Structure 1
Amino acid sequence: MKKHINFRNIYKIPVSFWLINGLIIAVIWASGQIGFLSGIEPNWRGLIWPPTGIALALILHSGYRNLPGIIVGNFLLHAPHFSAVGPPLVIAFSSGLTTALAAFLLDSLSFQQNLSRLKDLYRLIFFVGIGSTLILATLESVAFLMVQPVSWSDLSTIWLRLWQGHVLGVILFTPLFLTWLNHPPTRIALPKIVETVVLFSILGLMSIGLYITGERQIAYLPFPFLIWAAFRLERRGTQIVSLIIISMAVYFAVSGSDSALSRWVNTTPDATWFFMIAATITAVTVSIANHERQAAKNELQAERDFAQQIMQQMGQGIIITDVNHRFVYVN
């Protein structure tokens, strides 16, 4: 259930509201700076826009009371890039309203924030990652038109880049934040820690190797390690590994090096975007599918243990199960 704040008497709003929204403003502004840094062109958004995904995760987790921080954060983020106050206001309120709309849509579809089901991931991707971001990219394109009229070809390019950034921001950062917000840290066994350190070390060495060799044919080399993380490090670890791989791709886009891989990334932004989308969706899908498989396995084992206890207590009996091996009759 969403938490609401009564704005009729602003003086009675708790201090925690102002503190939380102040923190959200800082998070939106900082993540937006990262988005601008990931741009291939100067002062232009990159192929990933983290504020969109982070804002959606915060609304889903804590409610619509976070909207003021999201709107103000987006305004402060975009205001220095425009000479007039109108465009950043349009962008800020568009971001807030479309985020609220996306959260409402997911709630109406019985979306579970822990992302333990594949159907929740599909709803996030298709209804929000692809759906509501179309509206947001269109409204932001209107804001750019308020500053300077552009041709239809330039407008289509602007719209496409804005939409691509929002899509990747939702698909990468919304699951990342929801996974960590809804799954508090637990104790990790020593072998798992060692395995995690080994995996992250390999990814670090691989990023250096990709930068030195610069061969674009090996750009997809991190994918096997992404699958490794999905099966072994569960959802939280997989999200971190996916973020590292995406960061590697962004780094090659903005590093300005003369390697073949960097030139390929810069001259084919759409291919780079598809690479990042493929890496992100692969990581999240495999990790959630593995979680569902493990949960079903544990449930079936619990059913078997229960049946064994019953048989031991009554000696002889009749047990009937359905097609999913769940008990429907015991005598």
Structure 2
Amino acid sequence: MTVVCRDKLRRGGTAALEIGAVAALYYGSGKLGLLQQIVRGQVTPLWPPTGIALAGLLLLGPRVWPGIALGAFLINVSPGPSVPAAMAITMGNTVALLASYALLRRAGFRTRMNRLRDTLALVFLGAFTGMLISATVGSSTLFLAQALPAGRFWPTWWIWWTGDAMGVLVVAPVLLVLSSARRPKDTPASRWGEALLLATATIGVCILENAPVPLMFLAFPLLTWAAFRFQHAGATPCALAVSTFAVLAATRGTGPFAGHTLLTDMISLQAFNGAAALTALLLSSAITERNETQEKIEQACSRLSEMVTRTAPDTGGLPTLPDGEGGEEGNDGSPDDRDTS
């Protein structure tokens, strides 16, 4: 009995720590996301907490949902407009993430994202579909609380939805990759050099995103390089970096986002971020799936070769007669003619 109680207490303590960690990460990342707010101090074009929360659900299970709800409430209660409105927005955020988690589990999603179907599920079910709930509930709550003019409802809804979806697409994959990361062994120095070169190039592209010359398209060769050579381990951090710096440029109105209206900048920003995330995830998954398929084919060929070697008849000890020799053959190799009379 004592052992059972102790085991229950240990599991309960672990669950409480996980819930507290998710709440703290949600709140902390939310504060960072609000630094680039666009509408009412609580709508931003990139909302990292959705990615952190969904990764927490996928890695730890649905038991951490109270941490998501607590973090969401603490983030939304200060900008208001009221406590009931903050509770409604919190409910929308929590339900949206639980719906995304349920859809991904129903689709057989693997956190390794080693199949193309995993990436498609994360994009279309986890990000695009699930975040419809949070954007609709949040925008409607602000409108009903008279904190949002009717003319700004749809722009706010668009920014809310794309911001939540981008959080799933660029933040969650990085955390999922980190959860399964292992210390590389016997990695050649050339590989480390290439990784350092990729990191340097990423920094350079991020700086150019804030330059007056529109050079944001340079991110796509970079993402292609990262996906082909390093798969998710290289492509997902690159996608997070270029998307973050694009958000900084858009919210400050610098670089290619200077001199345009808010709606134009948001459409351009979300199109770029969406294309960058899709490029990184889809290419990485396709290359990973191809590599694993090739490895399985090579293993199957190796096993088949071993099987053939084991089952082949042993002819090494049988004597072989040279042509033209033998009691039944003549000098020309044909049987001797015999007088049968």
TM class by shorter chain equals 0.7 to 0.9
- Give the whole-Å Cα distance in 1 for the aligned partners of 2:190 and 2:116: 28
- Give the whole-Å Cα distance in 1 for the aligned partners of 2:10 and 2:144: 38
Aligned length: 305
- Give the whole-Å Cα distance in 2 for the aligned partners of 1:189 and 1:144: 55
Which deviates the most, 18-27 or 71-80?
Answer: 18-27
What amino acid is aligned across from residue 76 of structure 1 in structure 2? L
Pick aligned residue for 1:279 from 251, 276, 279: 276
SS in 1 for 2:218: coil
5 Å matches for 1:59-70? 59-70=57-68
How far does the alpha carbon of each residue in 1:38-85 deviate from its partner, in whole angstroms, 9 at most, with x for none? 334672422111111221111111111111111000111111101421
Which deviates the most, 146-155 or 97-106?
Answer: 146-155
Whether the aligned pair in 2 keeps the contact of 1:40 and 1:253 (CA below 8 Å) is: no
Residue equivalent to 1:7: none
Are 1:306 and 2:303 matched, yes or no? yes
5 Å matches for 1:114-133? 114-133=112-131
What amino acid is aligned across from residue 63 of structure 1 in structure 2? G
Which deviates the most, 225-234 or 189-198?
Answer: 189-198
Residue equivalent to 2:198: 199
Pick aligned residue for 1:58 from 50, 56, 59: 56
Pick aligned residue for 1:110 from 108, 111, 121: 108
Q: Any unmatched runs of 5+ in structure 2?
A: 1-7, 314-341
Residue equivalent to 2:137: 139
How far does the alpha carbon of each residue in 1:198-242 deviate from its partner, in whole angstroms, 9 at most, with x for none? 111122223334434x112x2211210110000111212211111
Are 1:22 and 2:28 matched, yes or no? no
Change (3 A) 1:72 1:193: same
Change (3 A) 1:265 1:29: farther
- Give the whole-Å Cα distance in 2 for the aligned partners of 1:152 and 1:42: 14
What amino acid is aligned across from residue 299 of structure 2 in structure 1? A
- Give the whole-Å Cα distance in 2 for the aligned partners of 1:146 and 1:264: 30
Whether the aligned pair in 1 keeps the contact of 2:85 and 2:142 (CA below 8 Å) is: yes
Are 1:220 and 2:217 matched, yes or no? yes
Are 1:239 and 2:266 matched, yes or no? no
SS in 2 for 1:191: helix
SS in 1 for 2:242: helix
What amino acid is aligned across from residue 222 of structure 1 in structure 2? A
Q: CA deviation at 1:260?
A: 4.7
What amino acid is aligned across from residue 287 of structure 1 in structure 2? S
How far does the alpha carbon of each residue in 1:96-133 deviate from its partner, in whole angstroms, 9 at most, with x for none? 22212221222122222211111121122222312121
What amino acid is aligned across from residue 192 of structure 1 in structure 2? R
Which deviates the most, 22-31 or 285-294?
Answer: 22-31
Q: CA deviation at 1:186?
A: 3.4
Are 1:289 and 2:273 matched, yes or no? no
- Give the whole-Å Cα distance in 2 for the aligned partners of 1:169 and 1:56: 10
Change (3 A) 1:15 1:106: same
Whether the aligned pair in 2 keeps the contact of 1:265 and 1:272 (CA below 8 Å) is: no
- Give the whole-Å Cα distance in 1 for the aligned partners of 2:14 and 2:258: 45
Change (3 A) 1:230 1:265: farther
Whether the aligned pair in 2 keeps the contact of 1:129 and 1:171 (CA below 8 Å) is: yes
What amino acid is aligned across from residue 137 of structure 1 in structure 2? A
When normalised by structure 1's length, the TM-score is: 0.84
Residue equivalent to 1:97: 95
- Give the whole-Å Cα distance in 2 for the aligned partners of 1:53 and 1:185: 24
Q: CA deviation at 1:246?
A: 0.8
5 Å matches for 1:143-182? 143-148=141-146, 150-182=148-180
When normalised by structure 2's length, the TM-score is: 0.82
Which deviates the most, 152-161 or 72-81?
Answer: 152-161
- Give the whole-Å Cα distance in 2 for the aligned partners of 1:18 and 1:302: 44
Which deviates the most, 54-63 or 137-146?
Answer: 137-146
Whether the aligned pair in 2 keeps the contact of 1:252 and 1:265 (CA below 8 Å) is: no
Q: CA deviation at 1:290?
A: 0.3
- Give the whole-Å Cα distance in 2 for the aligned partners of 1:150 and 1:261: 25
Which deviates the most, 50-59 or 174-183?
Answer: 174-183
Q: Any unmatched runs of 5+ in structure 1?
A: 1-9, 317-331
